[in-house]
Amino acid sequence: MTTTKTIYGALLLALAAGAARAQDPVPPPVQDPLADPAPRTADDRPYKSDGAAALEIVGFQFALNRIDHAFVRPDDYGVSVGSIRRNLHSSWVVDKDPFEINQLGHPYQGSMYFGLARSNGLTFWESLGYAFAGSAVWEIAGETTTPSRNDQITTSFGGSFLGESLYRMANLVLEQGYGLSPRWREVAATAVAPSLGFNRYVRPGRAGAIWPSNSPAVYTRLQLGAGGISRRIVGPSLAPRRNELAADFALDYGQPGKPGYTYHRPFDYFLFRLRLSNVQGVESLASRGLLVGAPYAAGSAVRGIAGLYGSYDYLAPQVFRVASTGLSLGTNAQWRLADVLTLQGHASAGVGYTSTGTIRASTSGQYNYGFAPQAMVMVRLIGGGKVSLDATARKFFDGKLTSPETGGTDRVFRGDASLTYRFATHHAVALKYITSRRTFAFAGVPERQQRRDTVGLYYSYEPTGGLGAVNW
């Protein structure tokens, strides 16, 4: 599978969806608060179709296979009865496709499977099952190559964790509008989640109806700026030294503390991060959501949630890459230290299926696949809604615990810190420091570390205002 596959697949659905006609939102029906509510429809009756979800996924795969067969070289898509029979009897392997295809393209493809099921009225868990089955079908009958277990994990689980964030963000645009006209709401929602836009176009009022968000506390930020290299150790990478222009999008959905908001459904809380650069394209992408958990409180000053989180992470800081699909135990909390001082934070630790690799490696074999520990800590100190200090640290401890393909070890750390000053209701400036560090050991590779630090100045647009503090 190649990058072309992912791009053509996304464009196929996005072009089909287009700018569909809008519907007026309908109040959600009264229902069991512990259930994952069905999407709202024009006649206020739940809609759900397993058959339509399965048919659309298979149709998407067929179109994707034909496009790849026509345009992608080498051609691994000339599927036949013989190749399907062979794959059915083959042992699953760890494939060696390009890193960005396995760890970025496959999760996005999985998010399409997931989104097609979700926009046909299926719950999160049902849609995850469809993504898992869709991935298995593609591995066996979508390509002629041997089925890959790393693709199966990243496509189904990584795709679902990414897909639910995209599905919810698209629905939030449709529901809240954010000043957009009905037509531009449709265009924006389709750009975020093409599968939802497709179903809203082909069956308006039925599939793809606006899904009720229950009005979460949301913090959104878009930063545009430039970063210069302050320190760089390339190690065994042949990548050139380059500064970058970057766009950095962050969204926190369902922050704890809002009165009346509950956490009965997967991803009622999630964070989403996307960083684009003129050098790497997608420099980083992360989606981390609460799968099962509950809120808690400590006095009148602390509100939080705790439970099991599902996560998908992809990092590519020019000299190396790391990606992980994982499960972690953790918590989010907000502590009102004073009337004008608020502390927010997240901490989690768990295990993920992790991949690491050198960009433009000087020798072969500089990669790892395997289950590995991971951890994340995030804090934001907000002063009077005017100034905030943010810091995030992510650690991926070892890229090889189960894979027999390589004998190396990996430790990856990603940290960032930023100081933001809001000079108008929705406008701010930020000074940001980012560090990406990798320590490793591979046979025949004398280098033992890679590092890239940047300092940048950014303009920040904050449509929700207040720098993210939640009042109760």
CB 265 within 8 A of CB 212: no
d(CA 148, CA 457): 42
pLDDT of residue 127: 98
pLDDT of residue 161: 98
CA angle 453-459-465, nearest 5°? 120
- Residue corresponding to tokens 């230290």: 337
d(CA 317, CA 31): 46
pLDDT of residue 369: 84
Angle subtended by helix axes 159-176 and 182-192, to nearest 10: 170
CB 351 within 8 A of CB 373: yes
Per-residue tens of pLDDT for the chain, all 472 residues: 444 444 334 433 333 333 333 333 434 443 333 344 444 433 344 689 999 999 999 999 999 999 989 998 888 899 999 999 999 999 999 887 888 889 999 999 999 999 999 999 999 999 999 999 999 999 999 999 999 999 999 999 999 999 999 999 999 999 998 889 999 999 999 999 999 999 999 987 777 788 889 999 999 999 999 999 988 999 999 988 888 999 999 999 999 999 999 999 999 999 999 999 999 899 999 999 999 999 999 999 999 999 999 999 999 999 999 999 999 999 999 999 998 999 999 999 999 999 988 898 887 767 788 888 999 999 999 998 899 999 999 999 875 554 555 567 889 999 999 999 999 999 999 999 999 999 988 877 888 899 999 999 999 999 887 899 999 9
| Threshold 0.85, pTM exceeds | yes
pLDDT of residue 445: 85
What architecture is the 218-468 domain classified under in CATH?
Beta Barrel (2.40)
CB 381 within 8 A of CB 348: no
Structural domain boundaries in the chain: 3-202, 218-468
Cis peptide before 216 (omega within 30 of 0): no
Three-state SS string across 20-31, please? Answer: CCCCCCCCCCCC
CB 117 within 8 A of CB 130: yes
- For residue 427, give the nearest of 462, 378, 391 by alpha carbon: 462
d(CA 360, CA 238): 5
CB 161 within 8 A of CB 310: yes
The three-state secondary structure class of 327 is strand
270, β-bridge pairs: 253, 289
Task: Count CB atoms within 10 A of the CB of residue 84.
Answer: 14
How much is the CA Rg of the chain, to the nearest whole Å? 22
List, in order, residues 6 or more apart from 154 with CB less than 8 Å away: 102, 103, 106, 107, 110, 323, 325, 353
Torsion of CA 135, 141, 145, 148, to 10 degrees: 20
pLDDT of residue 427: 95
